[in-house]
Amino acid sequence: MNLSSLQTEFDLLYSGFALASGNGTLALLLLALLIACAFEFINGFHDTANAVATVIYTRSLKPWTAVLWSGICNFIGVFIGGISVAMGIVKLLPADVLASNNTSLSLIAVFSMLLSSCIWNLGTWYFGIPASSSHALIGGILGVGVGHAISNGNTISSGVNWTKTSEVGLSLLISPLLGFLLAALGLVLLKAMTRNSNRLHSPQIPGKTPPIPIRIALIGTSTGVSLAHGSNDGQKGVGLMMMILIALLPAQFSLNPFVQSGEIAKAIAAANQIQVKVASLPGATSGEKGILIRNAHASADAGPAKKDQENLAKALTLSTQIQEDLQGANTTSEVSGEKRLRLHSNIVQLESKLSSLERAGFALTDTKKARKTLFSIIEYAPFWVIVLIAISLGLGTMIGWRRVVETIGEKIGTSELTYAQGAVAQTVAMSMIGVSALVGVPVSTTHCLSSGVAGTMIGAGSSVRGGTIKTILMAWVLTLPVTLGLSAGTYCLLKLVFHS
**Range among 122-126, 172-176, 323-327, 446-450 rated most confident:** 323-327
Percentage of the chain with pLDDT > 90? 10
- Quick one: pLDDT at residue 211? 79
Cβ neighbours, 10 Å, residue 363:
13
Cα 205 from Cα 453, distance rounded (Å): 19
Distance of CA 20 to the CA centre of its chain: 27
- Quick one: pLDDT at residue 301? 45
- Quick one: pLDDT at residue 290? 42
Cα 142 from Cα 157, distance rounded (Å): 11
- Quick one: pLDDT at residue 293? 38
Tell which wins on pLDDT, 490 or 136.
490
Q: Kindly report, residue by residue over 247-305, the tens digit of the pLDDT.
A: 788 888 888 888 877 889 999 999 999 999 999 887 665 444 444 334 434 444 444 57
Distance of CA 242 to the CA centre of its chain: 12
Cβ neighbours, 10 Å, residue 309:
18
Please check whether residue 430 is in contact with residue 487, taking contact to mean a CB–CB distance below 8 angstroms. no
Mean pLDDT of the chain: 79
Tell which wins on pLDDT, 236 or 441.
236
Burial class (CB in 10 A: 0-12, 13-18, 19+), 14: exposed
Q: Kindly report, residue by residue over 196-221, the tens digit of the pLDDT.
A: 666 677 766 666 777 788 888 889 98
Domain ranges of the chain: 27-252+381-498, 255-375
Cα 367 from Cα 162, distance rounded (Å): 20
Cα 114 from Cα 43, distance rounded (Å): 12
Cα 118 from Cα 112, distance rounded (Å): 10
Q: What is the DSSP string of 65-109?
A: HHHHHHHHHHHHHHHHS-SHHHHHHHTTS-HHHHS-S-HHHHHHH
- Quick one: pLDDT at residue 358? 87
Least confident of 44-53, 143-152, 359-368: 44-53
- Quick one: pLDDT at residue 329? 86
Least confident of 161-170, 232-241, 327-336, 343-352: 161-170
Please check whether residue 343 is in contact with residue 335, taking contact to mean a CB–CB distance below 8 angstroms. yes
* pLDDT of 187 strictly over 60: yes
Q: Kindly report, residue by residue over 340-399, the tens digit of the pLDDT.
A: 888 988 898 898 888 888 888 888 888 999 999 998 898 888 999 999 998 998 888 777
- Quick one: pLDDT at residue 288? 43
Tell which wins on pLDDT, 91 or 304.
91
- Quick one: pLDDT at residue 298? 43
Q: Kindly report, residue by residue over 461-474, the tens digit of the pLDDT.
A: 765 565 556 666 66
Smallest CA-to-CA distance from 164 within 196, 184, 141, 180 is with 141
Exposure string over 414-435, b if 16+ CB within 10 A, otherwise e: eeebbbbbbbbbbbbbbbbbbe
* pLDDT of 238 strictly over 50: yes
Cα 254 from Cα 183, distance rounded (Å): 42
Cα 199 from Cα 203, distance rounded (Å): 8
Tell which wins on pLDDT, 20 or 51.
20
* pLDDT of 321 strictly over 80: yes
Region 41-69: mean pLDDT is: 77
3 state SS of 362: coil
Q: Kindly report, residue by residue over 217-233, the tens digit of the pLDDT.
A: 889 988 988 888 888 77
Please check whether residue 5 is in contact with residue 258, taking contact to mean a CB–CB distance below 8 angstroms. yes
Q: Kindly report, residue by residue over 60-71, the tens digit of the pLDDT.
A: 888 788 888 888
Region 117-121: mean pLDDT is: 84
- Quick one: pLDDT at residue 176? 80
